[in-house]
């Protein structure tokens, strides 16, 4: 493959992909450029650089008319449902997202080590990671969103912070918040619970109800998070998220009992995302709650604890069946939601791989429930344990988006 400038593109060349452009156009399908007019069309669409396959360049003056011409498609048409994008970009993005997620875990572990050893944590790599999260979310948010559903029961502290960061990024993008702010939000979210490293294990991991004294010890983690970030030189939004994510609108939160307007929109977002992830998390001592039940609890907490308007937007953004949710269809096929459907949330795209009827794995199949030809409907959310399904196996085999 060769990457060339659009000015070098000649009729007869085979365009593989767009590598640089001013807009967000994707070519609908790969193929030969037949005419100069076709090239001009690509130029006009803001395409600056493309990848061509020199082995397929046609030498005759008459290119193969059977092959499709690459056609620019308006942004609104491409999104995630474009098959070209699905085949070529989604799987690549999953690999990149997984790498970022693993980096995040390593970074958190290093930060825990630094604090335990009495050293300040190094903020720069966290900011870099937050920026990487953001780039991935803007390329294809389903990849990182999916990883937030892949939980290990014993890695809560690490995974919770990473998940809150990813969900904050996705939520902030949904709200149209500008890039620089999103990086601060995701950095703050990545480190919001870092103070828990100073909470004694017996309190931190206690399965049952905490006593009043234990609860006070637990509450200090937000204060510790704030201090740790300030000592590391952070200021502003990220520090606010760390210190204030347990504050509630009616003033009944902790550690400062702030209320109403004293709690910024960014902190309000963080408190919603933090509780959502905590409720849906699988823990050693409890099963993860279904998103729809977690939304209900958050809704019951409005307006006393949470901002109702923001919560509504968060639910719209995440969807009733978020990407990565295991669901059963009326045909008894079981699979993972791989694309949410914001207009009809009950009709996402599902990748099925198991038959509940025959209790066995099946061939992998993509079913778009919004497709009029699809007779299947989404019946219920199910747990991997219900069918002894090893989700990790499918994750490793990269069948996810
Ligand atoms: Fe917290």
Q: How far is the CA of 270 from the centre of ligand 1 (A)?
A: 10
Q: What beta strand segments (E) does 154-264 contain?
A: none
Cβ–Cβ under 8 Å, residues 95 and 139: no
Render pLDDT for 45-83 as a digit per residue (tens, 0 to 9).
Answer: 777 888 887 776 765 433 333 334 444 433 333 333 333
Q: What is Dmax (Cα atoms) for the chain?
A: 83
**Domains of the chain by range and CATH?**
2-78 (no CATH), 83-318 (1.10.3210.10), 326-396 (no CATH)
d(CA 134, CA 137): 5
Residue 31 dihedral angles phi and psi, to the nearest 5°: 165, 180
Render pLDDT for 86-136 as a digit per residue (tens, 0 to 9).
Answer: 333 466 778 888 899 999 999 999 998 999 899 999 999 999 999 999 999
Q: How far is the CA of 258 from the centre of ligand 1 (A)?
A: 16
Tokens representing 153?
């029961």
Q: How far is the CA of 220 from the centre of ligand 1 (A)?
A: 9
Which neighbouring-strand residues pair with 302? none
Q: How many percent of the chain have pLDDT more than 90?
A: 46
Q: How far is the CA of 246 from the centre of ligand 1 (A)?
A: 6
Render pLDDT for 157-191 as a digit per residue (tens, 0 to 9).
Answer: 888 999 999 999 999 999 999 999 999 999 999 99
Q: What is the model's pLDDT at position 72?
A: 44
Q: How far is the CA of 320 from the centre of ligand 1 (A)?
A: 24
Q: How far is the CA of 261 from the centre of ligand 1 (A)?
A: 21
Q: How far is the CA of 354 from the centre of ligand 1 (A)?
A: 37
Q: How far is the CA of 306 from the centre of ligand 1 (A)?
A: 15
- The pLDDT of 363-380, averaged and rounded, is 92
Q: How far is the CA of 106 from the centre of ligand 1 (A)?
A: 20
d(CA 84, CA 88): 6
Render pLDDT for 264-316 as a digit per residue (tens, 0 to 9).
Answer: 999 999 999 999 999 998 776 677 888 888 999 999 999 999 999 999 999 98
**Of 295 and 27, the one with more pLDDT:** 295
| pLDDT > 60? residue 349 | yes
**Of 400 and 182, the one with more pLDDT:** 182
Q: What is the model's pLDDT at position 158?
A: 85
Distance of CA 395 to the CA centre of its chain: 15
User: Apex CA 331: angle with CA 326 and CA 337, to 5°?
Assistant: 25
Q: What is the model's pLDDT at position 185?
A: 97
Q: State whether residue 19 is helix, strand or coil.
A: strand
Q: How far is the CA of 285 from the centre of ligand 1 (A)?
A: 19
| pLDDT > 80? residue 43 | no
**Of 16 and 199, the one with more pLDDT:** 199
Q: With 0-12 CB in 10 A as exposed, 13-18 as middle and 19+ as buried, what is 91?
A: middle
| pLDDT > 90? residue 381 | no
3-state helix, strand, coil in the chain (%, to 5): 50, 15, 35
Q: What is the model's pLDDT at position 36?
A: 75
Count of alpha carbons within 13 angstroms of residue 90, beta-carbon side: 18
Q: How many percent of the chain have pLDDT more than 70?
A: 84
Q: How far is the CA of 256 from the centre of ligand 1 (A)?
A: 14
**Lowest mean pLDDT: which of 80-84, 140-144, 371-375, 377-381?**
80-84
Cβ–Cβ under 8 Å, residues 12 and 57: yes
Q: What is the model's pLDDT at position 204?
A: 85
Render pLDDT for 140-154 as a digit per residue (tens, 0 to 9).
Answer: 888 888 888 776 666
Q: How far is the CA of 309 from the centre of ligand 1 (A)?
A: 22
How confident is residue 400, by pLDDT bands cut at 50, 70 and 90?
Answer: very low
- The pLDDT of 249-271, averaged and rounded, is 97
Cα separation values, 51 from 15, 22, 31, 63, 393, Å: 6, 16, 11, 18, 34
Residue 93: partners with Cβ closer than 8 Å, 6 or more residues away? 136, 139, 140, 142, 143, 401
| pLDDT > 80? residue 353 | yes
ω into 307 cis (within 30 of 0):
no
Average pLDDT, the chain: 83
């Amino acid at each position: 493959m060769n990457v060339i400038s659009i000015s070098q593109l000649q009729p007869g060349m085979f365009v593989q992909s767009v590598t640089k452009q001013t807009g967000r156009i994707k070519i609908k399908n790969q193929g030969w450029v037949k005419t100069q007019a076709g090239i001009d069309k690509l130029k006009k669409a803001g395409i600056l650089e493309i990848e061509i396959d020199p082995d397929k360049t046609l030498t005759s003056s008459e290119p193969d008319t059977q092959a499709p011409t690459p056609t620019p498609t308006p942004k609104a048409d491409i999104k995630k449902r474009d098959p070209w994008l699905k085949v070529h970009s989604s799987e690549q993005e999953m690999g990149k997202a997984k790498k970022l997620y693993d980096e995040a875990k390593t970074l958190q572990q290093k930060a825990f080590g630094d604090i335990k050893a009495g050293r300040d944590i190094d903020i720069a790599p966290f900011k870099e990671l937050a920026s990487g999260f953001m780039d991935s979310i803007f390329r294809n948010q389903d990849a990182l969103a999916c990883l937030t559903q892949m939980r290990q029961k014993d890695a809560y502290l690490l995974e919770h912070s990473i998940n809150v960061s990813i969900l904050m990024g996705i939520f902030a993008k949904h709200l149209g918040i500008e890039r620089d702010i999103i990086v601060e939000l995701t950095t703050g979210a990545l480190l919001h619970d870092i103070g828990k490293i100073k909470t004694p294990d017996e309190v931190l991991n206690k399965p049952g109800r905490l006593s009043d004294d234990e609860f006070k010890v637990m509450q200090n983690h937000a204060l510790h998070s704030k201090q740790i970030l300030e000592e590391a030189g952070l200021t502003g939004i990220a520090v606010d998220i760390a210190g204030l994510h347990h504050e509630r609108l009616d003033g009944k939160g902790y550690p400062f009992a702030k209320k109403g307007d004293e709690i910024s929109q960014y902190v309000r977002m963080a408190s919603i995302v933090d509780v959502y992830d905590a409720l849906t998390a699988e823990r050693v001592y409890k099963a993860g709650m279904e998103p729809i039940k977690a939304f209900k609890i958050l809704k019951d907490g409005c307006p006393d604890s949470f901002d109702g308007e923001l919560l509504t937007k968060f639910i719209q953004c995440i969807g009733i069946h978020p990407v990565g949710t295991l669901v059963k269809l009326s045909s008894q096929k079981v699979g993972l939601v791989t694309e949410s459907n914001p207009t009809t949330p009950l009709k996402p795209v599902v990748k099925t791989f198991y038959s509940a009827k025959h209790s066995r794995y099946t061939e992998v199949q993509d079913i778009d429930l919004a497709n009029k030809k699809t007779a299947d409907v989404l019946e219920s959310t199910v747990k991997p344990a219900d069918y002894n399904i090893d989700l990790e196996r499918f994750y490793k085999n990269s069948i996810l988006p």
